[in-house]
Amino acid sequence: MRVDGAEREARVLFVEDDPELLDVIAAELEDAGFAVVTAGSGEAALAVLHERAHAIDWLFTDIRLPGLIDGWRVADEFRMSHPLRPVIFATGAAQERPRDLFDSLFLRKPYRSSDVVRAFRALREGWRACPDEYEALRRLKAAPLASSLSWQPVP
């Protein structure tokens, strides 16, 4: 991603209500060269997006979050600033409210932190390699995925 002609770290908003998982994966993403902003609830994630939506490049969110704001709502807000960017959703086998969000990735729980890092690396590199977001998305969808990831909601 280019900002004012200079390369910068891709910034991920990582939304997860399990504090241990949040810390472990945030650390691994940082080790992989991402800047990470964390939120433990949908309300906290929306606050981050309202303050600095354009500074967030990628979103990972659990679908089921404590409180009134779920991962679907967080993704809707993210997509206001980044309509073509895939969101990575974490989901269990049974969803309360199945929903297909245009061109997003679904990661089945339980998942490995390495799967999250690999997914964000693929997204980051896909966007860097192609300045046209439509073409970047098309290429990403044609590339093979890790077995734990899907472009379709997990049944």
Task: For residue range 63-122, list pLDDT tens digits in order.
Answer: 999 999 999 999 999 999 998 888 999 887 555 555 656 678 888 888 889 999 988 988
Q: What are phi and psi of 78, to 5 degrees?
A: -60, -40
- Residue 42 has what pLDDT? 97
> 3-18: per-residue pLDDT in tens?
333 345 899 999 999 9
pLDDT (average), residues 47-70: 94
pTM (two decimals)? 0.86
Q: For residue 137, give Cα distances in angstroms to 5, 51, 54, 128, 131.
A: 22, 27, 19, 11, 11
Specify whether the CB–CB gap between 65 and 39 falls below 8 A. Answer: no
